[in-house]
């Protein structure tokens, strides 16, 4: 299955289908409906989100990659920073 790419953005841009760092966590704006939420998934050093991203407000449900992910900023569920392997 192909991965859907979520582009790196900022909260000021307010664009659907973007992500940005927020404190120690990551915020994602749904590409379909624009719903904003904190990412509580694992993110690999390549930016692959696991498990799949499922918007609670619309039909968006895809395996995603966070474009421009910085591997030193890896995040685990709960927003704790995790050092690279």
Give the helix ranges, DSSP H, for 1-85. none
Dihedral over Cα of 59, 65, 77, 28: its sign: negative
Query: Cα 10–35–7 angle (5° rounding)?
Result: 40
Looking at residue 48, its pLDDT comes to 93
Q: Above 60 in pLDDT, residue 24?
A: yes
Higher pLDDT, 45 or 28: 28
Q: Above 80 in pLDDT, residue 84?
A: no
Q: Above 80 in pLDDT, residue 72?
A: no
**How much of the chain, in percent, has pLDDT values that exceed 90?**
61
Q: Where are the domains of the chain?
A: 4-73
Mean predicted confidence (pLDDT) in 20-37: 92
Give the single-character DSSP code of 73. G
Q: For residue 67, which of 24, 26, 12 has the smallest C-alpha distance?
A: 26
């Amino acid at each position: 299955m192909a991965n859907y790419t979520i582009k790196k953005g900022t909260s000021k841009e307010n664009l659907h289908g973007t992500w940005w760092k927020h404190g120690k966590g990551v915020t994602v704006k749904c590409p379909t409906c624009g719903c904003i939420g904190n990412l509580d998934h694992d993110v690999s050093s390549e930016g692959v989100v696991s498990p799949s991203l499922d918007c609670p407000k619309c039909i968006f449900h895809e395996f995603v990659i966070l474009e421009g992910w910085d591997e030193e900023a890896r995040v685990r569920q709960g927003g704790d920073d995790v050092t690279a392997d």
